[in-house]
Amino acid sequence: MPMGYTKPLYILPFDHRASYITSLFGWKEPLNVEQVNAVADSKRIIYEGFKYAVQHSAPKDAVGILVDEEFGIPLLRDAHKQGYITAVSVEKSGQEEFDFAYGEDFGRHIEAVDPTFAKVLVRYNPEGDAAMNQRQAERLKRLSDYLRQKQRLFMFELLVPAETAQLDRLDHDKNAYDLQMRPALMIKAIQELQDAGVDPDVWKIEGLDRREDCEKLVQVARRNGRDNVGVIVLGRGAESDRVIHWLKTAASVPGFIGFAVGRTSFMDGVVAYEKKQASTEVAAEQIGKHFEEWISVFEAGRQGH
């Protein structure tokens, strides 16, 4: 199977676990049965929002969900049955260093879920803890090799959080870090991971503010014969106007094929549902309309509008 993915890819991600449970419900794991059911029910609302978008304007062959196995198995099964794109998270939630959610059993879990994409979330700053970066890269290479051998698609969500020393150089201005430092660090991280034998089909990256940074990132993602590797933009839980800016900036750059915007799509709707301020239908419509909006913005941006 040739490496890469070039078709449009619009993902509604709701594989958030530790942070989601704490911010939405104020709980800490381990959860009791009632709490597990409440979390799973809230994720069902998000999936209803996704289906609302598909029923209205979202292009069925380009849209998909990213959800965790822990709370989302019934949703993954249904999406699979309906022919939607599915992605399942493989990483252990709520920790800085990448490791497998199910340890050495990761392969069996991927085969059982049978997703379109296996996805990892990795925090990797090239100027950070070198030993940790190496440990992460070794685990990720094993996953990359496994997925290539099984002819399965690999999605890699790369976060490059600022090191304290980096922020010190910028008077602790996180916006300055995003603009001046992060783009080059992202490129270096991708190069280091590729050199370590980690080869995703799709890179899921934090939004970039300048078109030239998007172009440079695609060049690296597609270097040395990786011509069909795709890049999608993640939302970072940012305000709508920031998300729209990132989508518009990336959309017209060849190699950027879509996005994965989660919290900005679903959080208001889920919070309203949990507070009994919105019915399933109202919350789902709110979520679905946000998702449709990102698709419209990205597709208009691709046409240069």
The DSSP-derived string for 185-205 is HHHHHHHHHHHTT---SEEEE
Taking the CA of residue 164 as centre, how many other CA atoms within 13 Å lie in the half-sphere pointing to its CB?
Answer: 1
Question: Domain 9-302: what homologous superfamily?
Answer: Aldolase class I (3.20.20.70)
CB 274 within 8 A of CB 282: no
What parts of the chain have a pLDDT lower than 50?
A: none
Quote the pLDDT of residue 266.
98
| Contact predicate 280/45, CB 8 Å | yes
Q: d(Cα 196, Cα 208) in Å, to the nearest integer?
A: 25
Element (H, E) at 154: strand 153-159
Structure tokens at 224: 């040395």
Q: What is d(CA 284, CA 53) in angstroms, rounded to the nearest whole number?
A: 9
Q: How many other C-beta atoms lie within 10 A of the C-beta of residue 236?
A: 17
H or E, element range at 269: helix 263-274
Kindly list the domain boundaries of the chain, sorted by start residue.
9-302
